[in-house]
Every structure is written in C-alpha cells, then in structure tokens.
Amino acid sequence: MGRLRLRSRQWIVDEDDHIIMGDGRREILEHIEQTGSINQAAKRMRMSYKGVWAKIKATEKYLEKRIVDTDKRTGTRLTDEGRALLRKYREFKAVCVREEEKAFRRIFEGQ
C-alpha cells in the first residue's frame, strides 16, 4: 500500500449552506487582483463571465458589502472589503492546513 496523504477543502457558508468563500472564490479574487478584469479571471478559470459574476454577487449579497469595483475606464479591482476578505481567507486556510496536517499525522501515522 502507498503512503496516505491528506487533501481537504474548507468553505465558509451561510446558514443555508450557500458558499460565501472558498478556494474557488479565492482564486477568482486573486485573478481579478492580478488581471484587473472579471473576463480575464473567468478565462483563466475556464468559467463563463456570467458564472464568475454570479459568485461575486452572491458573496457581496450575503456580506452586504461590495468586494469588487468595476469601472469601464480603469478596469476591475478589489475593494478594501474584497482585499480584507481575501487576506482573511488566506490566513484561515493556512491555519486549517497546518492544524489538519498535525491531526492527520497524529491519527494516521501514530505521531
């Protein structure tokens, strides 16, 4: 038998289990930050523009804050709230990965 390894994902959801933030939305925000474009973010993720926009809007609706600002002249950028959400999710994810690895090793590798 080969060596076991851990793969896990975390989603932040609302009371009805609708995704508010997860790795997919993190990736969307990172691509927007890098490219200044929802369209380019969608292309990089092989998603439709409409699909990416719907995910952004769903998160904004729940948070009651804009996380992306669009302007035809200057392009698309993350708002202060969007940057804060992205930073917090990255921090949360890093803590989860670190703690899950510890638990996995203790339980499955007897350490």
Whole domain around residue 103: which residue ranges? 13-108
3 domain residue, yes or no? no
Report the C-alpha gap between 53 and 42 in whole angstroms: 9
The tens digit of pLDDT for each residue in 43-89 reads 999 999 999 999 999 999 999 999 999 998 988 999 999 999 999 99
Using CB atoms within 10 A of its CB, is residue 28 exposed (0-12), middle (13-18) or buried (19+)? Answer: buried
User: Per-residue pLDDT for 99 more than 80?
Assistant: yes
Mean pLDDT across 12-29: 95
4 domain residue, yes or no? no
pTM of the model: 0.89
Counted domains in the chain: 1
1 domain residue, yes or no? no
At 41, which CATH number? 1.10.10.10
